[in-house]
């Protein structure tokens, strides 16, 4: 037992990074290897995210490919891209040779097509190569794009004894076994065996007698988010992937699903915040600008639209110029309500808690808008009249406008996500600046129209 | 093999719900049991979420407690609350007796203290009872609150043969084995055995020879979000929980972590959208109003604040009354930038991609704000002057104000989450209406101050 009991105490400190850099600079390979040996590859990846590119490549070339292939999977995508550029096709092929087929295909997918071919031609293990090529053909957002070819399969006519011998061989390639999939002679999935059942079964028994025919599975072209939903709903840790003839093609494990859930949540969150690409706080200013500026432009044109509406009414307003002071109130309220409604819809559509009846949902939001609207309007009416001294008729106008704007914003915020979802577009694009901007403009328009009707300017 | 190969094809249809309701109303228990037998408990839970309370209780009382206990775990929290109210303490105790300790404790935690005691006193299995009581003592947001007592433990001085016999007994209580934890005679965690290694080891070998001492673990009082991070980072499917003396207390499985990740993401998303409680689209209007109105009130007072700022400048503005038309532009831009910056910070703090150096981060956002600001300002300047015919000096004022407001909003949006995080407050509260409102008000103030300086009114 050489390694220490490893607790979750890994903390990336400046001292540690400095130590690694010092060893690299002094080319003290022995000390470096000894130091890094203590760490999990995910921890080494965190260190490499912090050091310079040349230093990272030095470490990658120093360690054995079994470790570095896993490190490569864990480093930031842009760091990986840079490292891969510095490696030869043969070196990449060696790294990929160590990885499971799903990870290997993911890394290959990040390369240009030309380079992909160069690397693939260098993979020595022909079976591994064929499997990776098969996986590369699937869309990355489907079950096929998530699955690995590594799994343990047994035939229904085997005995438990035969099974165990076979599993010993097959399991060498499979990091975590989870389930043993039972297939018939046409390689169609017909059931599963739990490892636990196998351990506790008698060795002469036939698989047909002990297998469980009740097995969840997903089709290879199923959307990865749907796979995540199924696995979360049924608390599955692995799920087999089949084609439409029920042929067993691969399996998906829960760790990949955790990544799908996280990425999906991050994406929705960023969309709601008006960030259009997957960016992180430590990305470059250029990349961050690309992700942020488009939404700011939408907001800006919305603001200019609002300005031209105000210009339209400005001339005729006369004594009621005070109405302009309350534009921010109308705008903020419309924006907030719209974001609330759309966020609830987007989540509801994602979780399947919305039954799809648009009219019911709109009616409910109408009532909700009315309740919130009346509450907000009453307070605003009292504050504007008694604190600001706004004339009564103007305060009433503001109140009525607030109710109308809140109801309208709630309806728009509800309708647009449902509409997009029905058309097969991710409803999350309707959140954030998009909904805020359209509600701003509509809200201000409604405000002045109502004011014009009531005050008669 | 009685049951059918179960694909992911379960779809909750109106017809199915109607069929279930019809059987309940005709008290056709045999047909109902036969129908529901085909479905996974998570599917039955979906059906029960749709029917009336009495009907749901009818089904719960009809099926055996092994199934209904799992169904209870899966139904919506408010449905469960209502069902539990209609069951006697003894009936609840029976349901709980079927559940794993972690689920049992979760259900108990939803009851009032008085009722908790009544139910606990009715649990027959004394060991199960003691374990549940232990779990109830931990904070629900910690490793202790997530863990289950069910796990497979072996002592280091056992042989593989002894182990397998023991595991057969222990595994009866453990749904998924994952890992076998190795402890010494003081019950301190010293390592693990993978089930795969055990299957492939020779029966006479001692555990000391084959166990892996390298085992991740978490402390019982560790925050559940941190547990999720560790498990995701190291791709773990189960992790043992220890106390500060390394005594093995329980284990956490990945399915519970998937729930933590989802809930956390939902919570952050809702906070960013200005929804203060965990609500869903199908909740009551009262519950939705409670979650939404507080943020609308914050926005409203922000709007009134903006109104009073405008009032301050309104009187002296004279010819420059046109400035008021561009208030929505300033406000929308300030709000959008603030939300973008804060969202990136909140995510960065959650993922650990921010190194904590506030000054570096603020300087970066300053530069980013400047780049975005100049871009937006130039376009706005051209559009207002050439399309709207705004006087040149007013367009320049708007441009300068936009740059200043964008830089300010970026800095506020960056600073507040970092500040809250340092003080131990969840930075996610700083997103959404909170940041929008403060940026709205500051933005408008800055706009008029700059206008006053340049235009000299």
Does the distance separating the beta carbons of B199 and A168 come in below 8 Å? Answer: yes
In a domain, B279, yes or no: no
Judgement on whether residues A294 and A440 belong to the same structural domain of the protein: yes
DSSP for B416-449 reads HHHHHHHTTS-GGGGSTHHHHHHHHHHHHHHHHH
Res. A108: pLDDT tops 80 = yes
Does the distance separating the beta carbons of B297 and A307 come in below 8 Å? Answer: no
Nearest CB partner across the interface for A379, out of B300, B326, B383: B300
Does the distance separating the beta carbons of B326 and A327 come in below 8 Å? Answer: no
Q: Which of A210, A231, A263 is the last residue of a domain?
A: A263
* Per-residue confidence band for A187, with pLDDT thresholds at 50, 70 and 90: very high
List chain A residues with CB under 8 Å of B333: 296, 299-300, 303
Asked if ipTM goes beyond 0.85, one says: no
In a domain, A274, yes or no: no
pLDDT given for residue B447 in this prediction:
93
pLDDT given for residue B6 in this prediction:
44
Among chain B residues, CA nearest to A428:
B269
Please tell me the distance in Å from B344's CA to the nearest CA on chain A: 6
In a domain, A177, yes or no: yes
Res. A87: pLDDT tops 80 = yes
**For range B166-187, the mean pLDDT:** 82
Judgement on whether residues A117 and A171 belong to the same structural domain of the protein: no
- Count of the separate structural domains present in chain A: 3
Res. A315: pLDDT tops 60 = yes
**For range B344-363, the mean pLDDT:** 79
- Per-residue model confidence as pLDDT tens digits over B96-120: 999 999 999 999 999 999 999 999 9
pLDDT given for residue B2 in this prediction:
33
Please tell me the distance in Å from B169's CA to the nearest CA on chain A: 10
pLDDT given for residue A9 in this prediction:
64
For an interface test with A, give the residue of B1, B162, B332 to mutate (most A CBs within 10 A).
B332
Judgement on whether residues B210 and B304 belong to the same structural domain of the protein: no
For an interface test with B, give the residue of A38, A165, A332, A365 to mutate (most B CBs within 10 A).
A332
Judgement on whether residues A57 and A80 belong to the same structural domain of the protein: yes
Judgement on whether residues B396 and B296 belong to the same structural domain of the protein: yes
B237, containing H or E segment: none
CA distance B438 to B441: 5
List chain B residues with CB under 8 Å of A310: 324-325, 328
* Cβ atoms A250, A239 nearer than 8 A: no
CA distance A376 to A372: 6
* Maximum average pLDDT range among A343-352, A428-437, B39-48, B353-362: B39-48
Among chain B residues, CA nearest to A325:
B307
Average pLDDT value over all residues in chain A: 88
Among chain A residues, CA nearest to B229:
A8
* Per-residue confidence band for B9, with pLDDT thresholds at 50, 70 and 90: low
List chain B residues with CB under 8 Å of A262: 232, 261, 265
Judgement on whether residues B169 and B316 belong to the same structural domain of the protein: no
Does the distance separating the beta carbons of A218 and B375 come in below 8 Å? Answer: no
| Residue located via tokens 């009433």 | A396
In a domain, A169, yes or no: yes
CATH classification at residue A84: 1.25.60.10
Share of chain B above pLDDT 70, in %: 97
Average pLDDT value over all residues in chain B: 88
Top pLDDT among A271 and B118 is at B118
pLDDT given for residue B115 in this prediction:
94
List chain B residues with CB under 8 Å of A327: 324, 327-328
CA distances (Å), B440 to each of A162, B302, B365, in order? 72, 7, 18
In a domain, B382, yes or no: yes
- Per-residue model confidence as pLDDT tens digits over B402-412: 999 999 999 99
Among chain B residues, CA nearest to A191:
B5
Judgement on whether residues A46 and A164 belong to the same structural domain of the protein: no
Res. A287: pLDDT tops 90 = no
Res. B147: pLDDT tops 60 = yes
Nearest CB partner across the interface for B296, out of A280, A336, A432: A336
Judgement on whether residues A358 and A218 belong to the same structural domain of the protein: no
Res. A50: pLDDT tops 80 = yes
**For range A235-239, the mean pLDDT:** 89
Top pLDDT among B185 and A9 is at B185
pLDDT given for residue A271 in this prediction:
83
Judgement on whether residues B334 and B438 belong to the same structural domain of the protein: yes
**For range A313-331, the mean pLDDT:** 84
Share of chain A above pLDDT 70, in %: 97
Does the distance separating the beta carbons of A196 and B177 come in below 8 Å? Answer: yes
Q: Which of A263, A297, A330 is the last residue of a domain?
A: A263
Please tell me the distance in Å from A114's CA to the nearest CA on chain B: 32
Nearest CB partner across the interface for A6, out of B216, B261, B353: B216
Alpha helices in A124-204 (DSSP H): 126-136, 143-146, 160-171, 195-200
* Cβ atoms A225, A265 nearer than 8 A: no
**For range A98-125, the mean pLDDT:** 93
Comparing A83-97, B167-181, B363-377, B397-411, the range with the smallest average pLDDT is: B167-181
**For range A118-128, the mean pLDDT:** 92
Res. B91: pLDDT tops 50 = yes
Judgement on whether residues B221 and B250 belong to the same structural domain of the protein: yes
Res. B388: pLDDT tops 60 = yes
Judgement on whether residues A180 and A214 belong to the same structural domain of the protein: yes
Comparing A409-423, A440-454, B58-72, B198-212, the range with the smallest average pLDDT is: B198-212
| Residue located via tokens 């907001």 | A299
Please tell me the distance in Å from B61's CA to the nearest CA on chain A: 23
Does the distance separating the beta carbons of B444 and A274 come in below 8 Å? Answer: no
In a domain, A220, yes or no: yes
| Sequence-ordered list of residues with C-beta below 8 angstroms from that of A344, at least 6 positions apart, any chain | B273, B275, B279, B280, B281, B288
Judgement on whether residues A449 and A353 belong to the same structural domain of the protein: yes
In a domain, A5, yes or no: no
Residue-number span of the structural domain to which A57 is assigned: 14-140
pLDDT given for residue A7 in this prediction:
47
CA dihedral B52, B57, B59, B63 (to 10 degrees): 160
pLDDT given for residue A356 in this prediction:
57
CA dihedral (A32, A3, A101, A46) positive or negative: negative
Q: Which of A115, A140, A165 is the last residue of a domain?
A: A140
pLDDT given for residue A355 in this prediction:
61
CA distance B197 to B205: 12
Nearest CB partner across the interface for B353, out of A282, A337, A351: A282
- Per-residue model confidence as pLDDT tens digits over B16-65: 999 999 999 999 999 999 999 889 999 999 999 889 999 999 999 999 98
List chain B residues with CB under 8 Å of A330: 303
Res. A275: pLDDT tops 90 = no
Quickly count helices (H) and strands (E) in chain A. Answer: 21, 6
Nearest CB partner across the interface for A296, out of B299, B337, B351: B337
Res. A2: pLDDT tops 60 = no
List chain A residues with CB under 8 Å of B353: 280-282
Query: How would you label B389-421 residue by residue, b for 16+ Cβ within 10 Å and e otherwise?
Result: ebeeebbbbbbbbbbbbbbbbbbbbbbbbbebb
pLDDT given for residue B5 in this prediction:
40
CATH classification at residue A254: 3.10.580.10
Res. A391: pLDDT tops 60 = yes
CA distance B415 to B421: 10
CA distance A345 to A368: 14
In a domain, A279, yes or no: no
Res. B269: pLDDT tops 60 = yes
pLDDT given for residue B126 in this prediction:
92
CA distance B353 to B358: 13
Among chain B residues, CA nearest to A200:
B168
* Cβ atoms A413, A439 nearer than 8 A: yes
Number of A to B CB contacts under 8 A, please give it. Answer: 391
Beta bridge partners of B218: B241
Top pLDDT among A197 and A335 is at A335
CA distance B67 to B217: 32
List chain B residues with CB under 8 Å of A241: none
| Sequence-ordered list of residues with C-beta below 8 angstroms from that of B9, at least 6 positions apart, any chain | none
Res. B222: pLDDT tops 50 = yes
CATH classification at residue B333: 1.10.357.20
**For range B187-200, the mean pLDDT:** 83
- Per-residue model confidence as pLDDT tens digits over A66-84: 899 999 999 988 899 999 9
B344, containing H or E segment: helix B327-351
CA distance A102 to A110: 13
* Per-residue confidence band for A122, with pLDDT thresholds at 50, 70 and 90: very high
Please tell me the distance in Å from A84's CA to the nearest CA on chain B: 22
If DSSP codes are grouped into helix, strand and coil, which group holds residue A88? Answer: coil
pLDDT given for residue A1 in this prediction:
33
């Amino acid at each position: 037992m050489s390694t220490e009991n490893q607790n979750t105490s890994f903390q990336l400190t400046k001292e540690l990074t400095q130590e690694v850099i010092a060893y690299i600079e002094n080319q003290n390979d022995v000390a470096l290897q000894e130091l890094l040996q203590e760490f999990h590859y995910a921890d080494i990846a965190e260190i490499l995210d912090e050091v310079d590119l040349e230093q990272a490549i030095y470490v990658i070339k120093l360690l054995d490919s079994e470790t570095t292939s896993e490190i490569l999977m864990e480093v930031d995508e842009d760091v990986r891209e840079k490292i891969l550029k510095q490696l030869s096709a043969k070196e990449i092929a060696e790294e990929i040779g160590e990885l499971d087929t799903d990870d290997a295909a993911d890394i290959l997918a990040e390369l240009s097509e030309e380079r992909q071919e160069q690397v693939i031609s260098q993979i020595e293990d022909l079976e591994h190569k064929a499997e990776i090529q098969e996986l590369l053909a699937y869309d990355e957002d489907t079950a096929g794009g998530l699955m690995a070819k590594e799994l343990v399969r047994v035939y229904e006519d085997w005995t438990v004894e035969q099974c165990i011998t076979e599993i010993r061989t097959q399991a060498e390639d499979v990091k975590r076994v989870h389930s043993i999939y039972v297939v018939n002679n046409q390689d169609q999935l017909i059931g599963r065996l739990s490892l636990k059942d196998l351990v506790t079964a008698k060795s002469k028994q036939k698989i047909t007698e002990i297998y469980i025919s009740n097995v969840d599975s997903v089709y290879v072209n199923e959307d990865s988010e749907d796979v995540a939903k199924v696995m979360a709903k049924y608390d599955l840790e692995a799920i087999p992937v089949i084609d439409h003839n029920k042929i067993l093609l691969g399996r998906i494990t829960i760790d990949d699903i955790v990544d799908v859930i996280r990425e999906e949540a991050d994406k929705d969150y960023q969309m709601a915040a008006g960030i259009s690409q997957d960016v992180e706080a430590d990305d470059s200013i250029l990349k961050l600008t690309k992700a942020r500026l488009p939404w700011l432009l939408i907001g800006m044109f919305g603001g200019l639209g609002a300005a031209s509406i105000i210009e339209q009414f400005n001339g005729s307003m006369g004594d009621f110029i005070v109405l302009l002071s309350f534009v921010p109130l109308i705008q903020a309220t419309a924006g907030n309500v719209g974001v609330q409604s759309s966020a609830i819809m987007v989540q509801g559509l994602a979780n399947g808690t919305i039954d799809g009846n648009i009219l019911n949902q709109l009616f409910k939001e109408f009532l909700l808008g009315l309740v919130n609207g009346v509450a907000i309007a009453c307070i605003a009416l009292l504050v504007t009249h008694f604190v600001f001294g706004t004339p009564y008729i103007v305060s009433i106008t503001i109140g009525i406008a607030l109710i109308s704007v809140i109801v309208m914003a709630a309806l728009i915020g509800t309708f647009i996500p449902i509409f997009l979802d029905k058309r097969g577009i991710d409803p999350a694009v309707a959140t954030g600046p998009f909904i805020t901007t359209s509600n701003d403009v509509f809200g201000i328009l409604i405000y002045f129209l109502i004011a014009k009707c009531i005050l008669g300017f």
